[in-house]
Amino acid sequence: MQPGSSHRYLYWAVSLWLLIGGYQIWKLRQAPIGDFANYYYASQALLGGEVEDAQLYEPYTFNLWVNQRSPEPVFVNYAPVPPVSVLAYLPFAMISDVYQAKLVFNVIGLLFFVLVFIWGMRKLPQQRQIGQQGESELSPLGLHSPILPTLAIISIPFILWTPLFNNFFQGQSYLYMVSFLWLGFICWQKDQKLLAAFSWAVPIALKIFPAIILLLPLLKRSYSIFGWTVTLAFLFSVLPVFGMDYSTVSAYFQDILPRLFAGEINDPYTILYQSPRVFIDQLLIYDGHLNDNPLFHLPWLANLLYLAFQWFILGLLLPLISKRELPVFLAFSLTIIAGLLLSGYGSNYSMLLLFFPAVAIVATGLFPKPWPWMGALALLWLAGNIPIYKLEEWPFLTQFPRMYALLILFVGIYWWVRPGVQPKIWLAIGGILLLKWGWSGTPQNQLAAYYLPDGQYPIIFDCEPTGDGLLLKHFRGQGPEEDIYPTSDRIYGDPQLSIQDQQVFYAGQQLTTNKGRKKRAMRLNEDEIIYLSDEGRGVGFYTLRKLKLP
């Protein structure tokens, strides 16, 4: 293929991205606010100097604050979001109408992506095709056939139809994430160190999990890129201290982020996340409200199996991306897939990141014949378009198709490339993961029992005993509510009960050891206590737990 001959296909691809994206945005012009409410109102709290009043990382208070200002009922949860997002969304928070702000956010995201797409794809024909004789260095990208692969490139917006639609529906930022990650890769290959570091630091600071891409410059000995990216990501992450209370920022990184890494986000057992962590926890961890029918209750085994899974994925990834003959863009794309598999919190709109493997599979010459890469694209389509919410009543093993598709694709590419076993890498990864295991994770086997029989109250903000039972002040999605839970139990205060450093104490003796937030401890009958806690759940999703007194 002569240089520049693929540009006519590029124009078709750009037209389709604009046509499909524009159609979806127009179709969603009257859609609910969705996740965009999280970011928009948090930034508005900063603009109005009301961050402390809004209490972003306390879901009950933040929901009350937001719903007093929202034109429609919304349910928000800012806990998974780093504080720097408050600054990132400020330009859109300046638009007084939330629906207009969301529209502008989506349109700019689409246009930004298309501009980066044009720039990135124009780099394809600048070097020889992979496999040509006399080539001393493989190009990071390069179309190896004039017709079929370019048609496949054009088909990518259809492959990612549902993730793109849900990204616009929720007002999510994954088109921006894809654009910045690709910009960073292009600048890295052009040896524009600061621009590459800036472009990668933005998604890392905003979403955390893209930090896995730093394995690539580290293993390719691009130490300056690695160092600058880490430095800029850190600086971006701490910028909010200039506009927010320092304790809020520090609490996120010291208390909330470790719990997010442990999988504690809203409902840690929902199949919507499609993560191996959820798969393992559903099998091996009992939770009376969220997972009452596991195969066994063996929390230690669940933690060990997830550790083994991390070891397996990283043990395959590092030899792959270390292989000199592997095109760099393919290594980058495989790192993205590994990051999605290792993340405990998946979503449909995050599947927009599959844009990278979709391009790499077609354009890097990995498969010399069309059938293998057509099969790989089919797996990507399955990962992005199967409606997971419809599978909740299906047999357990059929509920994780996205996870299966990504695993088959990742392992299949490893088998195709066969980089060879490197025992030193496997031993090093195992040692690091064992150290990490000792420092992180909620000890699920130490969680106290629930007091209430079911989980119909997702956030109980406060409670107090009355003559008719226990008064529960809670939030269930439509505003604050109060209900009386009828009980004959004797519930009362006790001055010997206290909560210090998020742990329950009785008569000076510590009764709890887990990382959850706790408040409102009371005596229950003669030999028990009850208290509000979010342990083992999402941050701020309090419910009542009970313990026997020693």
Tell me, what's the pLDDT at 1? 36
- Based on the domain organization, do 409 and 490 belong to the same domain? no
- Based on the domain organization, do 269 and 202 belong to the same domain? yes
Which tokens hold the place of 373?
């890469």
Which tokens hold the place of 195?
């621009």
- With vertex at residue 203, the alpha carbon angle to CA 167 and CA 540, rounded to the nearest 5 degrees, is 75
- Based on the domain organization, do 434 and 454 belong to the same domain? no
Q: Which of 532, 522, 462, 458 lies closest to 491, judged by CA?
A: 522
- Based on the domain organization, do 114 and 202 belong to the same domain? yes
- Based on the domain organization, do 458 and 513 belong to the same domain? yes
Which of 439, 464, 496 is the last residue in one of the domains?
439
In a domain, 1, yes or no: no
Say if pTM beats, i.e. exceeds, 0.85: yes
- Based on the domain organization, do 537 and 402 belong to the same domain? no
- Based on the domain organization, do 405 and 464 belong to the same domain? no
In a domain, 2, yes or no: no
Q: Max Cα separation, the chain?
A: 87
CA 144/CA 363 separation, integer angstroms? 6
In a domain, 125, yes or no: yes
Tokens 């519930």: give the residue. Answer: 491
In a domain, 314, yes or no: yes
Sign of CA dihedral 200, 201, 205, 208: positive
pLDDT in tens, the chain (550 residues): 333 444 567 788 899 999 999 999 999 988 999 999 999 999 999 998 898 888 999 999 999 999 999 999 999 999 889 999 999 999 999 999 999 999 999 999 999 999 999 888 876 544 333 333 333 333 334 444 456 667 778 889 999 999 999 999 999 999 999 999 999 999 998 889 999 999 999 999 999 989 999 999 999 999 999 999 999 999 999 999 887 888 888 889 888 888 888 778 778 899 999 999 999 999 999 998 999 899 999 988 998 999 999 999 999 999 998 888 888 999 999 999 999 999 888 899 999 999 999 998 887 777 777 888 889 999 999 999 999 999 999 999 999 999 999 999 999 999 998 887 788 888 888 888 887 776 654 445 567 899 999 888 888 999 999 988 899 999 877 678 899 999 989 999 999 999 998 899 999 899 998 888 999 999 999 899 999 999 888 889 999 999 998 8
Sign of CA dihedral 342, 345, 346, 349: negative
DSSP bridge partners of 191:
none
- With vertex at residue 380, the alpha carbon angle to CA 378 and CA 381, rounded to the nearest 5 degrees, is 65
- Based on the domain organization, do 120 and 15 belong to the same domain? yes
- How many other CB atoms are found less than 10 A from the CB of residue 109? 23
CA 93/CA 105 separation, integer angstroms? 10
- Based on the domain organization, do 409 and 522 belong to the same domain? no
In a domain, 301, yes or no: yes
- Based on the domain organization, do 114 and 79 belong to the same domain? yes
- Checking 191-198 for CB contacts under 8 A at 24+ apart, the result is 193/224, 193/225, 193/228, 194/228, 196/225, 196/228, 196/229, 197/225, 197/228, 197/229, 197/231, 197/232, 198/232
- Based on the domain organization, do 363 and 508 belong to the same domain? no
In a domain, 367, yes or no: yes
Which of 406, 439, 472 is the last residue in one of the domains?
439
Q: In what order do the strands lie in the sheet with 449-450?
A: 449-450, 543-548, 528-533, 518-524, 491-492
Q: What share of the chain is helix, strand, coil (3-state, %, to 5)?
A: 55, 10, 35
CA 185/CA 197 separation, integer angstroms? 9
DSSP bridge partners of 531:
545
Q: Which amino acid is at 115?
A: L
Sign of CA dihedral 252, 256, 262, 265: negative
- Residue 147: burial class (beta carbons within 10 Å; 0-12, 13-18, 19+): exposed
Q: What is the DSSP letter of 287?
A: B
Q: Which amino acid is at 88?
A: A
CA 48/CA 201 separation, integer angstroms? 28
CA 142/CA 151 separation, integer angstroms? 14
Domain count within the chain: 2
Parent domain of 514: 448-548
The upper half-sphere exposure of residue 62, i.e. CA atoms within 13 Å in the direction of its Cβ, equals 25
Tell me, what's the pLDDT at 135? 35
CA 307/CA 280 separation, integer angstroms? 11
Q: Which of 323, 316, 322, 315 lies closest to 428, judged by CA?
A: 315
Contacts (Cβ under 8 Å, ≥6 apart) of 297: 284, 285, 286
Q: What is the DSSP letter of 522?
A: E
CA 157/CA 19 separation, integer angstroms? 10
- Based on the domain organization, do 421 and 452 belong to the same domain? no
In a domain, 202, yes or no: yes
Q: Which of 155, 206, 153 lies closest to 177, judged by CA?
A: 206
Tokens 């969603």: give the residue. Answer: 28
In a domain, 147, yes or no: yes
Containing 516, the helix (H) or strand (E) segment is none
Which of 394, 417, 439 is the last residue in one of the domains?
439
Q: Which of 390, 392, 367 lies closest to 379, judged by CA?
A: 367
